[in-house]
Structure 1
Amino acid sequence: MFIVILFIFLGITVGYTLRTRSVFLARLKTINIWNSKITTWLIWLLLFMLGIEVGSNKQLISALPTLGVESIVLSVFATLGSCALAWALWKTAKGGNER
C-alpha cells in the first residue's frame, strides 16, 4: 500500500513540476487525446485481473451465495432508505411553497 501512495504522490509531483514547461504544454494536447483511451483500457485490464484474482480464490467462490444474498439485502435497503429520505426532503422543501 505504501508503494501505491508513493506512486500517487510521485505522479502529482511530476505533473506539478512539468506544468509550467512550454515543451510539456505543447505535447500536452497530444497526450490528452490518448489519455482517455489509455485510461479506459487500463481500467478494463485492472478489472480483468481482479476477476482472475477473485475467480482463483476457492474460499471466496464457495462463499459467493452468502455474499450475494447479503449484497442484495444491503442494496434493497439502501435504495429504499434513499428513496424514503428523498421523499421526506421533497415533502419538507415543497411544504413551504404550497398555497
Structure 2
Amino acid sequence: MIDATRRFADNVRARRKALELTQEAAALSVQMDMSYWSRIERAKVDPGVRTVARIVTALETTPAALMADVVIDPGDARADRRDLPQSRSSIAATPATRCNPLT
C-alpha cells in the first residue's frame, strides 16, 4: 500500500503539472513558500487543513480530487492521534464524558 502522504503528494504534483504550473507559480499564487510547496510534493510534510485549502485554491480543484486513491491505514490513524495535544479535561475525562462533552 502506498503511504497516504505520498499519494496526496503525487496527486498535488500531477494536478500542478496538468495546469502547466511551476512549483514557484503555484506557491506564489497562494502566498506559500516555494520550499514548503516542494516539501509537500516530495511527501516530506503532511499538510494541515488550512494548507490543503490553499493548495486546492492554487490548483483550482477540490480536496476530494487531491485525496483520490488516498488510503489511510487504521494503524497509522491511531498513531497520528497520539501526536495530538490533549486538553486537561480530555485527559481526566471518563469515556462517557468524552462521548458527550456537554455533560
TM-score by length of 1: 0.24
| Higher-Rg member (1/2) | 1
TM-score by length of 2: 0.23
If asked which structure has higher relative contact order (CA below 8 Å, sep 6+), I would say 2
In terms of fraction of residues, the more helix-rich structure is 1
